[in-house]
Amino acid sequence: MLYIVPSPIGNLADITYRAVKVLGEVDLILAEDTRTSGVLLKHYNIQKPVTPYHQHNEHKVLQHLAQQLQAGKTMALITDAGTPGVSDPGFLLVRECIREGIRVECLPGATAFVPALVNSGIPMNRFSFEGFLPLKKGRHTLFTQLSQDERTIVFYESPQRLVKTLEELIKYFGPDRICCVCRELTKMFEENKHGSLQEVHDYFKEKGVKGEIVVIVAGV
């Protein structure tokens, strides 16, 4: 049995009772970063074996973990923040478990783009989640396609690249397209900046950018 367990995206209180219960009952916890997860586990007094599972080792440990699961072990996969598999490691292990007939259960819980989308005030009946945008290859093609999309567009961005990405969005989408940049969701300095692409760009270019970022852009 493999449990996919969402973890808080900032505020440690944003975890379900069920998630804490599952983490306290499994044989092994797979963590993207054992130091980051250690803070959460210590906070809830969860004392279980923890082993690294991240993008740099997931191919190497995949078969070994599947064999342990086949042998009867129960495991929980957590990442640094949010739901595993959503712009984080998790997909490969879930796919392997399905192939091997191992039961997988994903708990509901925190995912950064959902509160960002709701906070944005931009239509959410139809949207496209793009995760992290490509840095170079395919970036022009993607922006060209998205500029004509009628759906609301949601993606993650690093604080170091936000201003440059907003400049590119202005180039492809036009300066007046409505957007919202959500920063540090659920944390003490949470900020949701609404406005046109030009207004939001100018704001962050002058102020500077820190923290985790979700960008919401209105469709055509």
User: Which H/E stretch holds residue 178?
Assistant: strand 178-183
Tally of domains within the chain: 2
Q: Which of 85, 106, 127 is the last residue of a domain?
A: 106
Co-location of 35 and 90 in the same domain: yes
* Residue 136 confidence (pLDDT): 87
Starting at the edge strand found earlier in the chain, the sheet holding 127-132 runs: 127-132, 152-157, 213-217, 178-183, 191-196
Task: Give the range of the structural domain holding residue 149, as residue numbers without chain letter.
Answer: 113-217
Checking if the pLDDT of 143 tops 90, the result is yes
CATH number of the domain where residue 132 is located: 3.30.950.10
Across the range 70-78, mean pLDDT stands at 97
- pLDDT bin (cut points 50, 70, 90) of residue 172 is very high
Q: Which of 80, 106, 132 is the last residue of a domain?
A: 106
Q: Which of 56, 88, 106 is the last residue of a domain?
A: 106
* Residue 44 confidence (pLDDT): 98
Q: To the nearest whole number, what is the mean pLDDT of the chain? A: 96
